[in-house]
Structure 1
Amino acid sequence: MHIVWTELLKLRTTRLWWGITVSLLGLSALGAILTLVFAGDEPGFALSDETGQRSLFGSAGFNATFALVFGIIGMAGEYKQGTITPTFLAAPQRWHVVVAKALAFAIGGFLLGLSSSLLVAGIAYLGLAIKDIDVVMPASEILEIVGGQTATSAFYGVLGVAVGAVIPNQIAALIGALVEQLIAEPLLFNFFPEQARFLVGGAGSILAGAPNVGATLSLWAAAAVLAAWCAALLSLGSLITERKDIT
């Protein structure tokens, strides 16, 4: 438990945390405002119908990616900065460090997702009120989006740590993760939608309330898929970390 508190202290006192938080909140606010300003009148896009409002309340679409990047830098960045050696000296069983970081960045991802989702929801309510448009989305569905996006960000924080443990080179880990998420998975989804829903991005989009066309999993099933990916990659990352020569 002491290692977890140490990692949380590192997380809270680094400029990176505040930089990522401010950047995410700014992008999320911008996305919500642009949706309010440029929403059309066509069915599915109009802010007066439920589909349009779902897009508005779900416009905090950067949460998971920011949490993933944050987790990768939190783990692989220690190798780059040369701080990994004293970190491991303080906890000779290296897998304890990996798990502690995963827990710390799960909390960090949770806070990133929650703050961004609540900000977008607040802007959405205010914008609709200014436009004199009734909120037709059930409150339960809005809470589902906020909760789903928050949970997805927490999972992605863990995944970031796992990826950083598997690929200790920070640049390689960041490029690999972003290519997989932004290019490889969307391509796979076009050709194999049934199978792709069990990938990280497919399950994450379902849990966050923005599923790809044809992606069908319950929220609990999507959460279970993400948890399985976290467990598998953390196990692999812990094994690699234990065997890696740090000298």
Structure 2
Amino acid sequence: MIRLVKAELQKVFTTRMVWGMLALSLAFTAIGVVVLSIFSGQQGTTPLTESAGVLNLFSQAGVGLVFAFVIGTLLITGEYRFQTITHTFLVTPRRARVIAAKLLACSVVGVFFGLAGIVLAFALGIPAILLKGGSLSLIGGDVARLCVGVVAAMALYTILGLALGSLLRNQVAAIVVGIGWVYVLESLLVALLPSVGKWLPGGAAQAVYGLSSPLGGDYLPAWGGAALLIGYALIFAAVASVTTLRRDIT
């Protein structure tokens, strides 16, 4: 199993796509941190001298969820696109082992994306807090919980990408559907209808982050959001496994 996971990780990290997605994810994080730093305390935004403002600032570490999703999608759809899936299953006939290795590899990639986003958010956010007159004492348990949530959400979305890719198989279709869901439908439901959106993966991530709804609605408690994220991860993993185990590979 360890060899299979290493092989899957090698497939990912030796392609330009993963580094391109990571660069885009970090770019979104950097833009978010810079914009919030500039406009903090203006036009009703929470200043960086308050814990809520600091939490919002560091939450930008998780804005690149869609790019983690895309990598999860590519990990499976790329195999079908270039017909390497046949060779993969010939080398390892037990498909369950292959899927388990891909799921573990997805989780590792998601954790990597999450940690990279957190490092960048701290590198840009700490100087911004100090320049705005804030204190490092504001970086406490809530920020630590947010960091754990960012890593968990990134891992979840890579697994989601793998599950959707295993269902659709078509790389372009899976990416388009996934981006439309993350950036359009889910984002709108989480922001505008928190009573519905809180039960979605994005709403669960917001709950773990410890953020509040922009419209004043309530998200789940942190433990509830964490439990929901784990539940989604298990469901997505099951979908990826069942669809790949039962289908023909050609």
Q: Same fold (TM over 0.5)?
A: yes
Indicate which of 220, 234, 242 corresponds to 1:239. 242
Letter in 1 for 2:78: G
State the TM-score, normalized to the length of structure 2. Answer: 0.88
Kept after mapping to 2: 8 A contact 1:76/1:164: yes
- Per-residue CA deviations over 1:173-232 (Å, capped at 9, x if unaligned) read 112222222332345457864343222222122223445342432323222212222222
Kept after mapping to 1: 8 A contact 2:49/2:133: no
SS at the partner of 1:59? helix
Kept after mapping to 1: 8 A contact 2:190/2:202: no
Kept after mapping to 2: 8 A contact 1:20/1:66: yes
Letter in 2 for 1:29: A
- Per-residue CA deviations over 1:11-66 (Å, capped at 9, x if unaligned) read 22221122222222222122212221232345542222222222212122423222
Letter in 2 for 1:129: L
CA RMSD of aligned residues (A): 2.2
Q: 1:131-142, aligned counterparts within 5 Å?
A: 131-135=132-136, 137-142=138-143
Moved more, 124-133 or 139-148: 124-133
Q: 1:3-18, aligned counterparts within 5 Å?
A: 3-18=4-19
Letter in 1 for 2:225: A
User: Hey, what does 1:179 align to over in structure 2?
Assistant: 180
CA distance in 2: counterparts of 1:151 and 1:226, whole angstroms: 8
| 1:154 aligned onto 2:155 | yes
Moved more, 114-123 or 188-197: 188-197
CA-CA distance at 1:107 after TM superposition: 0.7
Indicate which of 199, 207, 217 corresponds to 2:220. 217
Gaps of 5+ in 2: none
| 1:78 aligned onto 2:63 | no
Letter in 1 for 2:246: R
Gaps of 5+ in 1: none
CA distance in 2: counterparts of 1:82 and 1:134, whole angstroms: 54
Give percent identity, aligned residues only. Answer: 32
CA distance in 2: counterparts of 1:48 and 1:13, whole angstroms: 43
Structure 2 CA distance for partners of 1:56 and 1:244, relative to 1, 3 Å: same
Structure 2 CA distance for partners of 1:191 and 1:59, relative to 1, 3 Å: closer
Kept after mapping to 2: 8 A contact 1:70/1:160: yes
State the TM-score, normalized to the length of structure 1. Answer: 0.89
CA-CA distance at 1:236 after TM superposition: 2.3
Kept after mapping to 1: 8 A contact 2:58/2:122: yes
Aligned length: 247
CA distance in 1: counterparts of 2:207 and 2:21, whole angstroms: 24
